[in-house]
Amino acid sequence: MEFHAHSVAGYQGERLYTAWYPPIASPRGSIVWVHGYAEHSGRYQEVVEFLGQQGWGSLLWDLRGHGRSTGRRGFATDLEEYLYDLTAVWTHWREKLPKPVVLFGHSLGGLIALRYRQKYDEVWSPAATMISAPLLQLRLEVPAWKRAMGQVAARLFPTLSLPSGLEPSQLTHDPAEAQAYATDPLVFRTATAGWFAAVQRAQAEAWKDLPKLTTGRYLFLLPEADPVCDTPTAQRFYAHLPASQRALRLYPEAYHELLHETFRTKVFQDIAEYLSAL
């Protein structure tokens, strides 16, 4: 696929890898993607190509500390750093993107997208916001010793890295996709204490600021068999979403990564159908 890569200056001097994939068919709009924790934007090629054939261009970027962007792997002092970076990416590319422009966030990216809409709607109000398996609460069991160590380390040694406990088999039923994740050199398997504490604060703030989400369009894509993020929590969040233009798609058999599941083409089609109404 044709693409145009550019390094964008992020918050506190980090360099953010970004790539614009023009639509393959006649332009209908653009999607800004925010990927999940420990992965990178290169894992979204299949859905980008599918939607490109529907006329949707895609702006991909790697979060700080991920993929081809700079920064300590898996570390952030506050989720706000990702929000500043998203503003930098949007500011750099916004004049070049066909309208309307949609925001898509998966997992950690879903939490980032929701916090962005709650805090920076005056900077950028997307035509729609699509949320996949948001990290509003972990379902993945964290041992008590690791939680206790993490709480202490978050205060004293925030850059301390511990195994994340995330297994490729928890992401998808597709063995080939799980293997691709397991062998991807840009995927990492650790989480820092400071990052985990930052996410916990952001989760609490997302619930506190839920009443702010009164405007805009939202699509929630939720895998009901997700062993990583807690889907019932995401469903409760959606149920209390005050925005009137909202839609929910549930996938009963799906693990965490809908875009890499065995039936991902159906998910791609659901996204394309939603976008066609914009």
pLDDT bracket for residue 156 (50, 70, 90): very low
pLDDT bracket for residue 165 (50, 70, 90): confident
Tell me, what's the pLDDT at 163? 72
Considering the chain, what is the average pLDDT of its residues? 93
Encode pLDDT of 145-155 as tens digits: 455 554 544 55
Using the predicted structure, report yes or no on whether residue 171 has a pLDDT greater than 80: yes
Tell me, what's the pLDDT at 64? 98
Encode pLDDT of 16-28 as tens digits: 999 999 999 999 9
Mean pLDDT on 190-217: 95
**Helical ranges in the chain per DSSP H:** 45-52, 80-93, 108-119, 144-156, 175-183, 193-208, 231-239, 264-276
Whole-model pTM: value is 0.95
Task: Say how far apart CA 227 and CA 207 lie, in whole Å.
Answer: 22
Query: Which domains, from first to last, does the chain contain?
Result: 4-140+195-276 (3.40.50.1820)
Closest CA to 219 of 252, 258, 241, 248: 248
Task: Say how far apart CA 206 and CA 198 lie, in whole Å.
Answer: 12
Encode pLDDT of 18-60 as tens digits: 999 999 999 999 999 999 999 999 999 999 999 999 999 999 9
Mean pLDDT on 120-142: 92
Tell me, what's the pLDDT at 1? 86
Mean pLDDT on 158-186: 90
The set of residues, in sequence order, having a beta carbon less than 8 Å from that of 234 and lying 6+ positions away, is 131, 133, 134, 136, 220, 222
Encode pLDDT of 63-93 as tens digits: 999 999 999 999 999 999 999 999 999 999 9
